[in-house]
Amino acid sequence: MNAPALLDLDIRSKRYGARPILDALRLTLAPGEVVALLGPSGCGKSTLLRIAAGLDRDYTGAVSLNGEALRAPSPLAGVIFQEPRLLPWLRVAGNVCFPDRARGAAAARAAALLEEVGLHADDGARWPKHLSGGMAQRVAIARGLYTQPRLLLLDEPFSAVDAMTRMRLQDLLLTLVQAHDMAALVVTHDLDEALYLADRVVLLEPAKGAATRATSHVYAVTQPRAQRREQGADRALRARLLERLEASVKAPLAA
Ligand SMILES: Nc1ncnc2c1ncn2[C@@H]1O[C@H](COP(=O)(O)OP(=O)(O)O)[C@@H](O)[C@H]1O
Ligand SMILES: [Mg+2]
């Protein structure tokens, strides 16, 4: 039997005003699974992630997290955005354990999380403005882990850092998911990132006109993870996805 779903998304319709954005979108995530949500800019990736995070309830359908209907942001889900969004008036440790004050057990937990994401416990005393982009994103990941989530929701989390930092952060994400038996839903517009990180890639195609909405296709990535960095992605799968991505970007222009 399959493991019970940690996240169960059943979105029948999401609109902005009269404009349909998502419909008939069904996606479940099991513990330990990494799913990449791939698609061109504007197709509804962030919209879907915000619904999964309990930040947007203006849709029809049902979303459950760990078997319970999701009605608001949950401590069971940690959310990480493209920009670290650290509070400049709090030191690093204070950001990690916000809204708790960085004292006692909260401070100890923040220090342990900083080490887990590859920083030093001492970095907790630094101010956000003194961090590099990669360090700041590590702090954002530590903050996402503070509530001991079962699920990480990441919206283009590594898009703003250099290529080497990006690879390191991708590996950090995979290590954390495994160590904590979490699931992760990662939004990206980068095909190779999707194929490196994911067990499954959900390709979201943009609406082809005002009256239609995004459609989704799911692809399993079966290539062993250990081979992915050195050998590169499964070439046949990459070619199929690339073809669909290119077609979906061109379609609105042709319409
Ligand atoms: N609050 C909003 N009100 C109206 N339209 C929105 C809003 N947020 C996003 N949109 C539109 O919905 C579509 C999907 O947006 P988004 O989910 O951010 O796409 P993606 O993350 O894939 O780039 C885009 O065309 C965007 O302009
Ligand atoms: Mg987006």
- pLDDT tens by residue, 109-149: 999 999 999 999 999 999 999 999 999 999 999 999 999 99
Q: How far is the CA of 112 from the centre of ligand 1 (A)?
A: 37
CB of 47 closer than 6 A to ligand 1?
Answer: yes
Q: How far is the CA of 47 from the centre of ligand 2 (A)?
A: 7
Q: Which stretches within the chain are classed as H helix?
A: 45-52, 92-97, 104-116, 133-145, 163-179, 191-197, 225-231, 235-254
Q: What residue ranges do the domains of the chain occupy?
A: 7-81+150-254
- pLDDT tens by residue, 39-70: 988 889 999 999 999 999 999 999 999 999 99
Residue nearest to atom 4 of ligand 1 (CA): 16
CA-43 nearest atom, ligand 1: 22
Residue type, position 188, single letter: T
- pLDDT, residue 31, reads 94
CA-39 nearest atom, ligand 1: 22
Backbone Cα Rg of the chain: 19
Q: How far apart are the C-alpha atoms of 242 and 234, rounded to whole Å?
A: 12
Confidence bin at 20 (pLDDT 50/70/90): confident
- pLDDT, residue 66, reads 95
Pocket test for ligand 1, best of 21, 155, 205 (most atoms within 8 A of CB): 21
CB of 42 closer than 6 A to ligand 1?
Answer: yes
Q: How far is the CA of 15 from the centre of ligand 1 (A)?
A: 10
Find the Cα–Cα–Cα–Cα dihedral 14, 72, 27, 60, rounded to 10°: -30
Q: How far apart are the C-alpha atoms of 216 and 201, rounded to whole Å?
A: 10
Q: Does residue 52 contact residue 29 with C-beta atoms inside 8 Å?
A: no
Confidence bin at 255 (pLDDT 50/70/90): very low
Q: How far is the CA of 87 from the centre of ligand 2 (A)?
A: 22
Q: How far apart are the C-alpha atoms of 94 and 48, rounded to whole Å?
A: 29
Fold for the domain defined by 7-81+150-254:
Rossmann fold (3.40.50)
